[in-house]
Amino acid sequence: MPRKQEDSWSKIGAWSFIVGLAIAVVAGIFYPTATPMAGNVFVLGILGILVGILNIGDKEIMMFLLGALTFLVASSSLSVVFSIIPALGPVLPSILNNIVLFVGPGAAVVALKALYDVSQKG
């Protein structure tokens, strides 16, 4: 792929990450519910997949998967810890839940890529 086209795709991937985090935070603040809205789930999922496809190269696979796995596991307990703070109430757990909806699909795509790469090596 020509260098200019690679730069375009990496910019799209970078903006997908920023927009995904922003949507997760804004939706968590303005719609702090235990069950996320279907539109948010769809948008965050698609952006997460874009990030996984466009941003994560061969060198970043392990770091991304480790970070994603750690966040996905830790966010549930962190959500419980912050839910007892009255000022944050349901807002922070909702934000964390939205970030999980964003990171999870990207992690799944990258994990599939890693499994495919491993299976090709023998």
Q: What is the rounded distance in angstroms from the CA atom of residue 100 to the CA atom of residue 96?
A: 6
DSSP summary character for residue 85: S
Q: What is the rounded distance in angstroms from the CA atom of residue 40 to the CA atom of residue 1?
A: 33
- Find the DSSP H helices in 1-122: 3-30, 38-54, 61-83, 91-120
Please write the tens of the pLDDT for every residue from 37-72: 788 888 899 989 988 888 878 888 899 899 999 998
Full pLDDT tens readout for the chain, 122 residues: 455 555 676 677 778 888 889 988 998 888 777 677 788 888 899 989 988 888 878 888 899 899 999 998 898 888 888 778 777 777 888 888 899 999 999 999 999 999 998 888 76
